[in-house]
């Protein structure tokens, strides 16, 4: 039994497009028992649950949030790959919505009560953020919590200079193990506020603290998490959330069990729904409100009804099958052509250009490159040019140029040195030229080479000179006679 005298918190699980379920849940709680949200000490959330936690913490109107969510789903359904299509940028839509809905003092009102679940990329650990220094920092935290790797992109967003991804990767239901944390989930399972399974199931899957029973209904909900269903199905999911929240409040004696439900006669989503059956034309399929069955939204507040009704009406047309095909087929056909994908990709790249250096450095570090290329180039440029000094061993200074020109019999000559530093530029020798008259090798200095190459060439030349000298001594008649 829920005790209002003790402290409690609320935790929302990440659920993607199934966040429409939270619209129905929170609309029921705010309408029937708003104290349950207003007096909560902490409101936790991951991914879409973090967005809903921010909405109810800041008091943003639910009908505007519902309209934004239906718009996101509508844009995703335009493409044959849904949210995976390059033309669809989910994070950009979420960011634009937050920039337009969050007040200027949102970070002040959210600090201390709103807790956003994040996953740090560097070590894969979960982080709960509850203090925000600015409105932009709050938006960055919410964007990071919604970034699903590969589903939303490759390079994750940053929060306070570090890369983070969806908090659902490590903890999809924050603080669910605490005794006074009311858990909310759109999947049938063991959460405090969740749908009830229509069939008995003895198997469940726990996805990062979220209990999900194994049945066909949850399979449909998991699929709808990543690929939004049609507007009528989303409207029904929203009303199911309203009814589940109403049952939770009644079972915990937070409201009277005889609390009346909203009926179609009390409110109507639009003028067409208010018409009596006698006023409907004979050629309409379901009256003038054929695009949406009013019973799917009749329990919801009237402002939510109007948003869902408008969204369903925009997705259909009342002019017949030919008009529907003429509007539907061009969108689908163009989504298959490469032109739209190329244009969308170019727009993504254009927006990514300012962050290319930072993101490329991160990608290189992930790939195992320890030192960025820019640092290597700067390090190479900072190294001084090598010079050979007279203090080096004498055998390194082979065949230097003598100012007099002629060589000695052993090929060792004197060399000019810098009078100030005592050093000469470190340069190798050019290709040797053989003097026919003297039989000796002449070498000239060529700039821009290392001393190692000059030493190797000098050793080879010495070896060749010694072999020539030995041959001459052996073939000399005087030497041969003395030897005999």
* Catalytic site residue from 9, 11, 27, 47: 47
Tokens of 327: 């509007």
Q: Sign of the CA dihedral 72, 78, 81, 86?
A: negative
Residue pair 94/76 in contact by the 8 Å Cβ criterion: no
Q: Sign of the CA dihedral 60, 65, 66, 67?
A: positive
Residue pair 50/167 in contact by the 8 Å Cβ criterion: yes
Residue pair 168/14 in contact by the 8 Å Cβ criterion: yes
**Pairing, β 42-45 against β 114-120:** parallel
Please provide the size of the chain in residues.
484
Residue pair 294/264 in contact by the 8 Å Cβ criterion: yes
Residue whose tokens read 């991914």: 47
Residue pair 128/115 in contact by the 8 Å Cβ criterion: yes
Residue pair 287/277 in contact by the 8 Å Cβ criterion: yes
Residue whose tokens read 């921010």: 54
3-state SS assignment for residue 212? strand
Query: What is the Cα–Cα distance from 244 to 299, expressed in whole angstroms?
Result: 12
Element (DSSP H or E) covering residue 213: strand 210-213
In 10 A of CB 316, how many CB atoms? 15
Residue pair 92/348 in contact by the 8 Å Cβ criterion: no
Provide the phi-psi class of 111: left if phi over 0, else alpha when psi is between -120 and 50, else beta.
beta
Examine the residue annotation and report whether 166 is marked as an active-site residue of this protein.
yes
Residue pair 431/457 in contact by the 8 Å Cβ criterion: no
Query: What is the Cα–Cα distance from 353 to 359, expressed in whole angstroms?
Result: 10
Query: What is the Cα–Cα distance from 89 to 409, expressed in whole angstroms?
Result: 81
Characterize 373-407 residue by residue with b for buried, 16 or more Cβ atoms within 10 angstroms of its Cβ, and e for exposed. eeeeeeeeeeeeeeebeeeeeeeebbbbbeeeeeb
Closest alpha carbon to 354 in 160, 165, 155: 155
* Catalytic site residue from 11, 68, 145, 166: 166
**Residue numbers annotated as active site:** 47, 166
């Amino acid at each position: 039994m829920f005790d209002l005298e003790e402290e409690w918190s609320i935790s929302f699980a990440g659920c993607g497009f199934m966040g429409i379920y939270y619209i129905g849940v929170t609309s029921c709680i705010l309408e029937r028992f708003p104290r349950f949200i207003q007096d909560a000490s902490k409101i936790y959330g991951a991914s879409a649950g973090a967005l809903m936690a921010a909405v109810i913490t800041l008091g943003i109107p639910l009908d505007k949030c519902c309209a934004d969510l239906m718009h996101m789903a509508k844009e995703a359904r335009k493409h044959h790959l849904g949210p995976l299509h390059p033309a669809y940028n989910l994070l950009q839509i979420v960011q634009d919505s937050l920039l337009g809905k969050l007040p200027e003092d949102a970070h002040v009102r959210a600090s201390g009560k709103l807790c956003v679940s994040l996953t740090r990329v560097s070590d894969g650990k979960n982080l709960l953020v509850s203090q925000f220094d600015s409105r932009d920092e709050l938006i960055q935290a919410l964007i990071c919590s919604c970034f699903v790797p590969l589903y939303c992109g490759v390079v994750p967003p940053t929060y306070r200079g570090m890369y983070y991804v969806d908090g659902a990767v490590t903890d999809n239901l924050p603080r669910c193990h605490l005794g006074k944390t009311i858990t909310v989930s759109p999947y049938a399972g063991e959460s405090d506020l969740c749908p009830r399974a229509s069939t008995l199931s003895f198997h469940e899957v726990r996805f990062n603290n979220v209990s999900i029973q194994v049945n066909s209904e949850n399979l449909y909900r998991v699929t709808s998490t990543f690929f939004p269903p049609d507007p009528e199905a989303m409207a029904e999911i929203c009303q199911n959330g309203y009814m589940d929240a109403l049952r939770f409040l009644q079972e915990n004696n937070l409201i009277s069990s005889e609390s009346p439900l909203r009926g179609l006669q009390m409110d109507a989503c639009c003028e067409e729904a208010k018409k009596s059956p006698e006023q409907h034309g004979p050629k309409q399929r379901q009256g003038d409100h054929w695009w949406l069955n009013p019973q799917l939204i009749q329990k919801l507040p009237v402002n939510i009804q109007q948003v869902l009704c408008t969204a369903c009406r925009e997705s259909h047309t009342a002019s017949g099958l030919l008009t529907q095909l003429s509007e539907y087929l061009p969108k689908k056909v163009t989504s298959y052509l490469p032109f739209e994908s190329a244009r969308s990709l170019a727009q993504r790249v254009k927006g990514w250009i300012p962050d290319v250096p930072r993101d490329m450095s991160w990608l290189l570090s992930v790939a195992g490159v320890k030192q960025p290329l820019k640092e290597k180039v700067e390090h190479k440029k900072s190294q001084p040019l090598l010079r050979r000094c007279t203090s080096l061993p004498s055998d390194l200074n082979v065949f230097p140029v003598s100012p007099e020109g002629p060589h000695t019999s052993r090929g060792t000559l004197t060399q000019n040195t810098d009078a100030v530093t005592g050093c000469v530029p470190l340069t190798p020798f050019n290709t040797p030229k053989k003097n026919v008259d003297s039989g000796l090798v002449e070498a000239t200095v060529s700039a821009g080479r290392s001393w190692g190459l000059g030493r190797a060439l000098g050793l080879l030349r010495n070896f060749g000179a010694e072999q020539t000298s030995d041959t001459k001594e052996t073939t000399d008649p005087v030497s041969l006679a003395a030897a005999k």
